[in-house]
């Protein structure tokens, strides 16, 4: 290398002072000096250095404002700088944490997941039927949306039930191999685990990792989620809510990809939620409309520039959703057995005090709190509005510290809309109906919204509550250390206040040979037009659905099992054979009128077999004494002795019924002891 004798022309590089930047804001609020047009930090460098910089590295002045006209889109690098994202490993770690917490919460069921089910008996047994029906129907060329195997001969429209069609299809291999109980346990565990994980993914767009994690925990393991996990699978699979939040942010605010791809994702997600939980989907739509109105209001200057992109994407989403959903909605609204409004709207709602008063599903609920909660309307599984005073304070702090972030006001709108609608048509305070009308009273008058249980708006409310908490905790970094420590202490107290019980219920649902080995399966059908008919008694027990699924759907049954379309209010006055043996109700005496009514029912429905279902620990109201009384009643009615299963809890089966005319006249065989 040649040596240069002349002194070097290169000057020593000056030390550049780091400029002080303003506190980062959302993408929708660029710095004031450039608010009329997006900055272009990718301009070509000049002789003095990068655009806008002097030799000292200080900002001279912002680039010139964009000329009047259509608003150019942000450069990709700029947009990504204004949104943070969870890394893949970060998201995986959050999922492992959420799954571990869910397994710990439901540990009693996972100790024996093939025979023990998360939550209590009742609605969970109905979900066992839904999970088993989809693979059975598809495998035997039956309509998966209309079933005549229950409520025979009329049938039920499963689109008017919480039939979780899509999740049932996804776990059908597990159901076929291991049974519906394992599938149910898996889905109800993934409910909070994936809901919390997706919430973290969404919240990380506006908050750092730890605040986003706290907000995600509020959503994934809120009192609403924990209480609904006692038996309402469709109300705990809330995976779509945070994903809707993320996709709408991309479509309406970020706008950096192809709009048709954003719309396609939105339409597919809406269709998936329709087939997972239509009630939750309806609530998400209502609250989203309120939040979007506020988003438009705080960004009204940008509407003309952003509208074309949003319109193209939303149009694609609507078309995709309409095409995919049309066959299912046609069955629901044009098909048979359209039974609506199964529950009164003024029972299952959020009491105003429930927002600050915990129920028995929280670990540290005091006796005074439980005494107050005992007066709330509805039941424990529908009392999930509790957030606690500490987190309400953090949300108020977020409104102050993040008041200049537009996402704060959108989140507040979503939270208030969902919270107010969850109060129901009239305001309840401490169990007292004040008769003060609320917005839900108007919503109940709009078509299918009369089927929505108001308290379940807490599902969407907790999403926006978690986002507000994440924003508030994120903004604590702006405060002095002492104030920041105080804020995090309040947040820690809020987490403790929401801790669920450690002895979450689980119900023992063993497989009984009476159903798995075929004892309860009738012989060939007397009528080739339908499968053999078996009457399971008491017909009002949701466990009947479980027994039918365990038997491999080897019979059809008339029933009053809690499905929409099978309840007494859905089908009118019921026959004595459907009401006899109802727990807590006396058995009717076998008068000539009762015998005639029973014989007509057995003849018209071509019933080949009667089964008195087992008394099990999963159904405490169905006592051994009640079972023994019903066995004696059916034995006297038919004059036949039943066959018995030798399971730990016995079933009784009358396989050979006398002619209906003999039952009506009482001319039947002698009963035991006569």
Nearest-angstrom CA–CA distance, 358 and 429: 14
pLDDT tens, 265-320? 999 999 999 999 999 999 999 999 999 999 999 999 999 999 999 999 999 999 99
Task: Return all residues near 40 (Cβ < 8 A) that are at least 6 apart.
Answer: 63, 75
The percentage of residues in the chain with a pLDDT greater than 90, rounded to a whole number, is 64
| Strands 506-508 and 533-537, bridge-based pairing | unpaired
pLDDT tens, 314-325? 999 999 999 999
Spell out the alpha helix ranges (H) of 106-179: 107-110, 123-139, 165-170, 172-178
Between 660 and 625, name the one with better pLDDT.
660
Nearest-angstrom CA–CA distance, 383 and 374: 10
Q: Are 303 and 251 in contact (CB under 8 A)?
A: no
Nearest-angstrom CA–CA distance, 340 and 570: 8
The model's pTM is 0.85
Residue 433, helix vs strand vs coil: strand
Closest CA to 533 of 153, 105, 259: 153
Q: Are 575 and 560 in contact (CB under 8 A)?
A: no
Structure letter (DSSP) for residue 426: E
Q: Which helix (H) or strand (E) holds 291?
A: helix 278-298
Q: Are 617 and 512 in contact (CB under 8 A)?
A: no
Structure letter (DSSP) for residue 150: B
| Residue whose pair of structure tokens reads 């009476």 in the numeric block | 514
Closest CA to 387 of 229, 217, 244, 241: 217
- pLDDT at 18 exceeding the cut of 70: no
Band (620; pLDDT cuts 50, 70, 90): low
Nearest-angstrom CA–CA distance, 422 and 416: 10
Q: Which helix (H) or strand (E) holds 454?
A: none
For the chain, how far is it from start to end, CA to CA, in angstroms? 122
The residue count for the chain: 674
Report the sign of the C-alpha dihedral through residues 474, 479, 482, 486, in that order.
negative
pLDDT tens, 382-408? 999 999 999 999 999 889 999 999 999
Q: Are 547 and 126 in contact (CB under 8 A)?
A: no
Average pLDDT over residues 525-538: 88
- pLDDT at 577 exceeding the cut of 70: yes
CA-only gyration radius of the chain, Å:
31
pLDDT tens, 181-193? 999 999 999 999 9
Tokens coding 471: 């924003």
Task: Return all residues near 422 (Cβ < 8 A) that are at least 6 apart.
Answer: 349, 350, 385, 454, 455, 456, 457, 458, 461
- C-alpha distance from residue 378 to each of 384, 386, 454, 521, 554 (Å): 11, 15, 11, 38, 36
What torsion do the CA atoms of 278, 109, 144, 266 make, to the nearest 10 degrees? 40
- pLDDT at 654 exceeding the cut of 80: yes
* Domain parsing of the chain, residue ranges: 88-498, 513-665
């Amino acid at each position: 290398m040649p040596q240069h004798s002349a002194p070097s022309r290169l000057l020593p590089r000056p030390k550049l002072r780091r400029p002080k930047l303003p506190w980062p804001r959302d993408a929708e609020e660029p710095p004031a000096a450039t608010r009329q047009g997006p900055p272009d930090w990718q301009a070509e460098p000049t002789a003095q250095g990068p655009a806008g910089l002097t030799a000292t590295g200080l900002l001279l002045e912002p680039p010139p404002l964009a000329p009047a006209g259509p608003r150019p889109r942000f450069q990709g690098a700029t947009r990504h700088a204004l949104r943070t994202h969870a890394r893949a490993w970060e998201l995986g770690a959050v999922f492992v944490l959420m799954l571990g917490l869910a397994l710990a919460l439901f540990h009693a069921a996972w100790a024996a997941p093939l025979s023990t089910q998360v939550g209590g008996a009742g609605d969970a047994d109905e979900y066992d039927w839904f999970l088993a029906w989809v693979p059975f129907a598809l495998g035997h060329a039956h309509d998966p949306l209309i079933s005549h195997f229950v409520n025979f001969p009329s049938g039920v429209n499963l689109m008017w039930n919480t039939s979780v069609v899509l999740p049932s299809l996804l776990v059908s291999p597990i159901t076929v191999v291991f049974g519906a109980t394992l599938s149910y346990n898996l889905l109800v565990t993934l409910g909070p685990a994936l809901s919390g994980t997706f919430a973290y993914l969404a919240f990380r767009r506006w908050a750092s990792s730890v605040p986003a994690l706290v907000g995600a925990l509020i959503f994934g393991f809120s009192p609403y989620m924990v209480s609904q996990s006692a038996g309402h699978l469709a109300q705990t699979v809330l995976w779509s809510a945070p994903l809707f939040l993320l996709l709408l942010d991309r479509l309406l605010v970020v706008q950096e990809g192809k709009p048709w791809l954003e719309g396609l994702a939105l339409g597919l997600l809406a269709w998936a939620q329709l087939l997972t939980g239509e009630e939750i989907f309806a609530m998400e739509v209502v609250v989203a409309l309120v939040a979007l109105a506020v988003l438009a209001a705080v960004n009204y200057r940008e509407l003309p520039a952003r509208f074309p992109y949003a319109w193209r994407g939303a149009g694609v989403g609507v078309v995709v959703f309409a095409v995919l959903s049309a066959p299912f909605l046609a069955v629901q609204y044009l098909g048979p057995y359209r039974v609506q409004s199964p529950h009164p709207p003024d029972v299952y709602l959020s009491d105003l005090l429930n927002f600050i008063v915990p129920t028995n599903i929280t670990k540290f609920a005091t006796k005074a709190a439980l005494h107050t909660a005992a007066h709330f309307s509805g039941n424990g599984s529908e009392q999930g509005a509790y957030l606690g005073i500490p987190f309400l304070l953090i949300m108020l702090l977020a409104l102050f510290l993040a008041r200049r972030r537009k996402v704060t006001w959108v989140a507040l709108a979503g939270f208030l809309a969902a919270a107010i609608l969850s109060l129901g048509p009239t305001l309840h305070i401490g169990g007292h109906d004040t008769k003060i009308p609320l917005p839900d009273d108007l919503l109940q008058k709009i078509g299918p919204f009369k089927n929505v249980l108001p308290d379940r708006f807490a599902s969407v409310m907790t999403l926006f509550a978690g986002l507000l908490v994440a924003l508030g905790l994120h903004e604590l970094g702006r405060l002095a250390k002492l104030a920041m420590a105080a804020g995090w202490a309040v947040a820690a107290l809020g987490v403790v206040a929401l801790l669920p019980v450690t002895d979450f219920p689980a119900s023992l649902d063993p497989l009984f040979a009476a159903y798995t080995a075929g004892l309860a399966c009738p012989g060939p059908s007397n009528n080739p037009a339908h499968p053999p008919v078996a009457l399971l008694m008491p017909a009002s027990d949701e466990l009947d659905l479980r027994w039918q699924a365990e038997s491999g759907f080897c019979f059809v049954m008339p029933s009053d099992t809690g499905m929409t379309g099978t309840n007494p209010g859905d089908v009118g006055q019921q026959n004595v054979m459907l009401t006899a043996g109802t727990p807590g109700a006396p058995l009717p005496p076998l008068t000539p009128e009762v015998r005639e009514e029973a014989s007509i029912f057995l003849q018209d429905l071509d019933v080949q077999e009667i089964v008195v279902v087992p008394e099990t620990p999963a159904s405490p109201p169905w006592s051994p004494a009640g079972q023994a009384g019903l066995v004696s009643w059916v034995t006297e009615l038919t004059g036949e002795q039943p066959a018995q299963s030798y399971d730990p809890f016995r079933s009784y089966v009358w396989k050979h019924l006398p002619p209906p005319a003999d039952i009506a006249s009482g001319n039947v065989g002698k009963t035991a002891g006569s």
